[in-house]
Amino acid sequence: MKVGQELIDKVKEKIAIQEVYRQPEDQITITVDRNDLPEAVRILYYDLGGWLSTMIPNDERQINGNYALYYVLSMEGNKMFEGDELPQEQKCWITVKTYLPASDLTFPSVTLKVPAAVWYEREAYDMFGLTAVGLPDPRRLMVSDDWPEGLFPLRKDSMDYRHRPDPVDHKDEPDYEFMKPQGAGVLDVPLGPLHITSDEPGHFRLYCDGDTIIDADYRLFYQHRGMEKLAENRMNYDQMGYLAERVCGICGYAHAIACIESAEKAIGLEIPLRAQAMRVICLEIERLHSHLLNIGLACEVTGNMNAFMHIFRIREFSMELAQLVTGGRKTYGNVVMGGLRRDMTGDEIKKSLELLKTIEKQLQEVWDAVMDDKHQVARWKGVGILDKQVARDFSPVGPNVRGSGFKRDSRYDHPYDFLDKLDFNIPTEDGCDVFARETVRYKELLESISIIRQCFEMMPGGQTIITPQTMIKPEAYALGNDEAPRGENIHWIMHGNAQKVYRWRCRAATYNNWPSLRFQFRGNTIADAALIVCSLDPCFSCTERVTVVDVNSKKTKILTHKDLKRYSQSLKSHPLKNM
């Protein structure tokens, strides 16, 4: 039986499936009527053990006269307890697709049955004008508060997206309506998400009773670089690799890999084994310098500057390692269709193995010292709890979900490149708090060192690039996945004509991790707020400001970045004092 067929048959028992499409074999698309969309996604998500990886709205009027929605689920098992997981040979991706006629751009909201869909459905309206009927939070997500009504940037309507709105008078506060607590036990999903392709500030509001946070809301997306639109109009696939690498300053290589591999999979292009191994090496090097950055900052934000400096000293070795492998410390420009642009010499491999020994030895020494610091451990334990059921409802990824006991990792569930030839573990912790997430990162550092060492020792011979012989197939689509430091990255590409992309959807780890943050804030103190955000390891340039609201006195105070850090480092400080 083909992979995923048993799951498809179970959906057919309750939902009429109009079409089944496979490309590649483990990526299955089922087409359903839009009225059946919520129930089809719910069955796959909760009943059959799926996790919402991404959702792609698409303007396909030039192809079939309709708009389309693609809800992509990673079929792994619920993983709520040991053994609650699909066998490896049954794991796959299942996409639920539905068409919306151009004359009626509404569809029933999936969010009412699967909370993880909320940001995706808000984005579908902002970018395409597709309205999810019944969506609990219809507020704007990606476009500014003064964005003109009826203008949808990712539609294929000639030059409409170039429209420049008339100037407006900006107020001190935006027109955005922040959510306010309405009583205990109210599950209010909407939060302002952060798209990984934006380098932006954010406006946080913490609703407090004294010094205790009882709820939170935040507004992000103050900037948007329009990268998907840029790629669709001006770039070939090799140029897209360069663009995708600039999605994120920390995990740019992971984005380049996922982007290019989605294009490769759509045409069935298999790259050389040597290039596969080197791609894995580069991905794990990014995990090294990213996790070291986060652990260092989790110490620094609580005032432990000594640990921060020692960890950053070790991090410098990982940057040297990146330069040996790719020729660049951070911006690599190494990923192209068919493989890699640059190979390694035997001398570079030898030096890299020596650097790995240094990193491993010094990392273990510093981590042991941090664990001996009772004050540091106390600041991490019991803070920022991500409850297992909340995690299951919102599909977070990376150390954020593995710190809550879920063995979710794209390298493990959907191995790519050279990974199926390697031996490695996926660390998990059951603490659900900051301590658990940082412990997962430390253990993953050791696993990354092991993976890189294995790749060097098993390095295949031959070339690192092949020239694609298969022509791009218009309207063929596929997703590319990899495990970035912050979690699973998903890039989805539909090919167009003239060797151009028709639709590129970039979904990075942070996009799936933001929704659960609201629940992680609750019950903690303001002094812990910066630490909780740090443990999420979000990808955004800075926090613009935080507005603290005391629900009893109704007083408010806007905190700067320096204020928030000062409160985090001094538990005796109170932000509403002397107001």
Beta 203-209 vs 545-550: how paired, if at all?
parallel
Q: For residues 145 and 127, what is the distance between their CA atoms, to the nearest angstrom?
A: 14
**The pLDDT value given to residue 481:** 96
What strands, in cross-sheet order, belong to the sheet with 477-484?
Answer: 477-484, 487-495, 501-507
pLDDT of residue 222: 66
Tell me the average pLDDT across 463-480: 84
Cβ 321 vs Cβ 352: under 8 Å? yes
- Residue 341: name the closest of 247, 278, 420 by CA: 278
pLDDT of 192 strictly over 50: no
pLDDT of 43 strictly over 60: yes
d(CA 210, CA 157) in angstroms, rounded, equals 51
Q: What is the mean pLDDT of residues 176-201?
A: 46
| Amino acid at residue number 46 | Y
pLDDT of residue 69: 98
Mean residue pLDDT of the chain comes to 86
- The better pLDDT of the pair 561, 78 is held by 78
The arithmetic mean of pLDDT across residues 35-59, rounded, is 98
Cβ-based burial of 88 (10 A; exposed 0-12, middle 13-18, buried ≥19): exposed
Question: Residue 221: pLDDT band by 50, 70, 90 thresholds?
Answer: confident
Give the confidence band of 435 by pLDDT, cuts at 50, 70, 90: very high
Across 245-270, average pLDDT: 89
Identify the CATH class of 5-165. Answer: alpha beta
Task: Tell whether 92 is in a known binding site.
Answer: no
278-293 CB burial, b ≥16 within 10 A, e <16: bbbbbbbbbbbbbbbb
Res. 236: pLDDT tops 90: no
pLDDT tens profile 4-37: 999 999 999 999 999 999 988 999 999 999 999 9
pLDDT beyond 90 at 440: yes
Question: How far apart are the C-alpha atoms of 489 and 483, rounded to whole Å?
Answer: 6
- What tens digit of pLDDT does each residue of 260-309 get? 999 999 988 999 999 999 999 999 999 999 999 999 999 998 999 999 99
Lowest model confidence (mean pLDDT) among 95-109, 308-322, 505-519: 505-519
User: Does the annotation place 542 within a ligand binding site?
Assistant: yes
Averaged pLDDT, 342-358? 94
pTM: 0.89
Report pLDDT for 544.
Answer: 33
> What is the domain partition of the chain in residue ranges?
5-165, 176-225+515-530+537-579, 270-467
Asked whether 307 and 299 are in contact (CB, 8 A), the reply is yes
Q: How confident is the model at residue 191 (pLDDT cuts 50, 70, 90)?
A: very low
| Number of helices followed by number of strands (H, E) in the chain | 18, 16
In the structure, what pLDDT confidence band is assigned to residue 185 with cuts at 50, 70 and 90? very low
**pLDDT at residue 490 in the model:** 96
For the residues 95-107, what does the mean pLDDT come to?
97
For residue 574, the model assigns a pLDDT of 55
299 marked as binding residue: no
Other CB atoms within 10 Å distance of the CB of residue 134: 15
- Whether 384 shows a pLDDT value over 90: the answer reads yes
Query: Which of the following CATH numbers is that of domain 270-467: 1.10.645.10, 1.10.530.10, 1.10.287.110, 3.90.1150.10?
Result: 1.10.645.10
The token pair that represents 511 in the structure block: 């996009």
